[in-house]
Every structure is written in C-alpha cells, then in structure tokens.
Chain A
Amino acid sequence: MKLARAQLWEEVKFTAKHIGLNLISILWLTATVYWLSSWVPVSGETIVGIASVSLAIVFSLFFSGAVFREKLLGIHELLLSLPFPPARLLLLKTMAGFIIEVAGILIGILAGFFLAHYSGASIPLTLMFLGLLISIPLLLTFTFFVILTTLLIHSGWFNAVKVRIGFVAFIVPFYVQKYFGNVLSLKLALLISLVLSVGVLIPSLLILRFLGDRLAERILLV
C-alpha cells in the first residue's frame, strides 16, 4: 500500500509537470465558466449541472498529451516493463489525472465563486461542490478512456476527433444556457454524468477484456 502511494504521488507530480499549461487551464476554465455563467439569467443548478458534465470531458482530454508524448519518446515500453500489469499502469495514470483534475476544479470553484461574487451574481458554493461530485464518475471514466485509447490508437484523425470533442464540450455550457434556459436540474446532470460514464466505461472494459494478456503487446506494436 505504501509503495502504491509512492508510485501514485510520483505519477501525480510527473503528470502535473507534463500537462504544463493545461494544469492552469483546469482551474482557469472552471473559474471562468462559473464566473461567466453566473451572468446568464438561468438557475444555479443549470449552470453547475452543465459545467460539471462538460468540464469533466474537457479536462479528461488534457491527459492525452502527456501520455502521447511518452509514447512518442518510446518511454511507454519502459513503463510497460514495470513489475505490474499494464492495466495497473493505466489505472495509476488515471488516478494521477483524477487527483489533478479534482484539485484543479476545487481551486477553480473557489476562484469562480469569488469572481462571480465580486461581479454581483453569485452561485452558492455548496452547489458548486455538488457539481464536483457529479463530475467525479465522468472524470474517472473519461480520463481512463482517453489514456487507454491514446496508448492504443496512433492516428492524426483520432487526435482531431479529441480536439473537436473538447471544443464542443467547452462551448456547450454557454449555448445551452443561452438557448434552452433552465433545462438542467442537478439530478438530471447526475443522470447524464452516470450515463456518459457507463457509456465510456463499457467500451473501456470491453477493450481490456478483448485484449487480455495482449494489452501490453498491442500498446507496444501500435
């Protein structure tokens, strides 16, 4: 257990260092979305609900870069030769990403809360934290899915798809609120988060099950 903690902490530090500007983007985006959204005349639940789903998707995509860089350098071969199964390596990277995401969102929520507060339109802090709880399943499953697919798929087309998904997820909070008003309750946001989480968890597990012992081989030979 102690060993796993040391590995996780090392991976958190390494990932934080290697996602570079994206690390700042997590808190900056969270703060901005809550701050700007608070100007829109819709309910706090809608703002928090939409942001918690869309930001979780955007942030998960940030971790593709660090993994892709290791793959380009060939270092993934060395990581795969560590004394644990490749699925645990993916889990280690996912957990490191998750910790960074949660820490970034927490700081972003606080910053967004103060920005919104001083702009005269405030969302309750507890509501924002509920939004973080809604994000958790998505942050975990999407981050895992992004890391898994980045290691398994090597194509410019795939990278372009990820950029587009990230862009759409970022834009959605602004437009849904603008055109559809109070469409989202926290319960509905949680439901969407869970449905999307299951939606990426199932293919992730199917890929792991299908590849079985050949997961490392597949990653290595792509």
Chain B
Amino acid sequence: MIVLEDVRKTINGREVLRGISLTVKPGEIHAYLGHNGAGKTTTFRLILGLLVPDSGRVEVLGLSPLRNPEIRARIGYLPEYDLLYPNLSVWDNLRRYALLKGVFDERELRDLLEFFELEEYSKKKVSTLSSGTQRRVAMARTFLGSPEVLILDEPTKGLDPEWRLRFKRFLKDYARKNNASVLFSTHILGDVDEVCRKVTIIRKGQVLFSGTLDEFRKSVPAKGVLVKVGELEKALAVLEKGGYTLKLSKGYILVENAEPSEVNELLVGEGVAVEEIKRNELSLEEVYSMIYDN
C-alpha cells in the first residue's frame, strides 16, 4: 500500500509538488501520468524516502520510508534510466544489488534471468548489450526479493513490442499473485490501457485527475456517435435534416457532437432501422491531452 497525502516538495526554490494525494492499494496497478518535469520522479523519490517532504504524509506499507528505511527491502524500484554498472556482467550486477539489498537468493536470480531471457548474457558485460537487453536486466533487478511495492519509472522504455507485451502480462500476473501495489509512470498510454486499473495525472506538481480507467475515459465527452443502419441514404437525409455534421467511417455514420440516445430517437422516429449505435470513444492519448490542456 502506498499513501501520499497532501505532499508538497520544493527543490532549489521551485515548488515541484503542490499538494499531491494518491493511494495505491495492494494488488492495484496505478498509472502515474504527466509531461516531463511534472513531478513524477520527485514523487517516486519521496515514496522511496530519498527526499524529505516539506509537508504532507508519505507512507509505504503503513510506515514512513524516511524513518523506516528497512521497508525498502520490500520495494522494487525501476528508475527511468537503467543505472547498471557497465563494466560488470549481468550476473554480477544483479548479484551485487541483491546482496546489498539483503535479498540474495541464487535460485530466484536464476529464475529471473530465465524469465527475462538473460541467461545467454549472464556473463557478458552490460556495456556490450543492446539498450533493450539492458532494460530487461534493470527489470530483473527490480523484482529481486519479490517486492510488495513496485515503483516503475517508464518501465517499457526501450523495449521492443514483444517484450513490452510480455512485461505487461508479467506485471499483471505479479501484482495479482503477490498482492503488490504498483505505481507506474509511462508516456505510452497503450500500456496504461492494458495494465492499469487506476490513473492519476499530474501537471506542474498538482493532481489534474485521479480515478479508475473507466472514469478517465469518460472524463471528457466523446467525439460523437457511430451508427450502423440498414438504409444508409435515408439515415443520412434524416440526420442532415436534423442539423448534424456527418462523416462516413468504416461502414458507420459518424455523427459529431451528439449523444447516442438523441440520434437513436431521431432515426427510429423517422423509421430508420438502427443496427448498431455507440459512442465514438476517444483514444487514451486524446483523453489525456484534453485533460492536460484544459
């Protein structure tokens, strides 16, 4: 469980966080979105107890990470940059971190190497690996000790599509099996759609939106209505007469600035058989942009 309550933080005279509140429950994968410089990394560092909040409350697993650094053994942190020792082998990088963290278990380490398909690279220096492979090493490091809390700063950055997919599946499975609280920042909103249950958006250190993914989608009006009808020409005439702006899209009529109920009522009233009617949902990127810009 991660709890942030009205957290404020000023760094070098700039108010980076301005009253951030956030809760990530066990088993929940929570997307934390915002432009670069919005305050995401500062939030993560506060959760890890690396920064001291000016005011507000930060708790991880019921304890202050600042006063109880030992709880970091139960936190997995994947920073935006891999932060690996370039001159050490993959194995030595993971082994060193596990030993220092106090969670070294050779079998677990081998299992992680196997899952992230790093066995063939285990004796190779990290500097000789591709950026995607290095990211997988950093990912494997994050899961050492089976943490109950995961802080992932752009985890899929640099991964190829196949690994992105595999990681998302792994993460969902991990959170469910281990009842882990996962806070996840990304600029790839497709990842949010597939993995996260909740979303928080911050801008200039303030929460703009916080809620479920469904609430996130519905937080801005849909673009219009998509209708599939039997008699296309009649339907177009009726809707044009009704003063709507229309477009044809993949066998559907796109009725702009309209609600499904009013379009359905109009068409049925004029004797047009409606086969299918639905909102023209915005993509997550469009919803995000609209929330951010407004």
Contacts from A to B (Cβ < 8 Å): 3, 6-7, 10-11, 14, 18, 73-75, 77-85, 213-214, 216-217, 220-221
Cβ contact within 8 Å between B99 and A82 = no
A16 to chain B minimum Cβ distance, whole angstroms, is 13
Contact among A3, A74, A214 for B52, CB-based, below 8 A: A214
A to B CB contacts below 8 Å, 19 in the list = A6-B99, A10-B99, A10-B100, A18-B87, A78-B79, A81-B48, A81-B50, A81-B75, A83-B69, A83-B72, A83-B73, A84-B69, A84-B70, A213-B66, A214-B52, A216-B49, A217-B50, A217-B51, A220-B45
Contacts from B to A (Cβ < 8 Å): 11-12, 45, 48-52, 66, 69-73, 75, 77, 79, 81, 83-87, 95-97, 99-102, 104
A31→B187 CA distance, assembly (Å): 58
Chain A residues with Cβ under 8 A from B73's Cβ?
83
Chain A residues with Cβ under 8 A from B11's Cβ?
221
Cβ contact within 8 Å between A82 and B100 = yes
B245 to chain A minimum Cβ distance, whole angstroms, is 52
Cβ contact within 8 Å between A83 and B71 = yes
Contact among A6, A7, A83 for B70, CB-based, below 8 A: A83
B101 closest partner in A (C-beta): A82
Known interface pairs A81-B77, A220-B45; 4 further A-B residue pairs with C-beta atoms within 8 A, sorted by A's residue number: A7-B99, A10-B96, A11-B100, A84-B70
Cβ contact within 8 Å between B96 and A14 = yes
Residue pairs across A and B with CB atoms within 8 Å: the count is 65
A52→B63 CA distance, assembly (Å): 47
Chain B residues with Cβ under 8 A from A221's Cβ?
11-12
Chain B residues with Cβ under 8 A from A6's Cβ?
99, 102, 104
A182 to chain B minimum Cβ distance, whole angstroms, is 47
List the 9 shortest-distance A-B pairs measured between CB atoms, nearest first. Answer: A83-B73, A83-B72, A10-B99, A216-B50, A81-B48, A78-B83, A217-B51, A83-B70, A3-B102
A12 to chain B minimum Cβ distance, whole angstroms, is 12
A39 to chain B minimum Cβ distance, whole angstroms, is 40
Q: A85-B69, A216-B49, A221-B12 are in contact. Are A78 and B97 (CB under 8 A)?
A: yes
Chain A residues with Cβ under 8 A from B75's Cβ?
81
A10 closest partner in B (C-beta): B99
A82→B77 CA distance, assembly (Å): 10
A45→B101 CA distance, assembly (Å): 45
B126 to chain A minimum Cβ distance, whole angstroms, is 11
Chain A residues with Cβ under 8 A from B52's Cβ?
213-214, 217
B75 to chain A minimum Cβ distance, whole angstroms, is 8
Cβ contact within 8 Å between A83 and B96 = no
A83→B75 CA distance, assembly (Å): 9
Chain B residues with Cβ under 8 A from A3's Cβ?
102
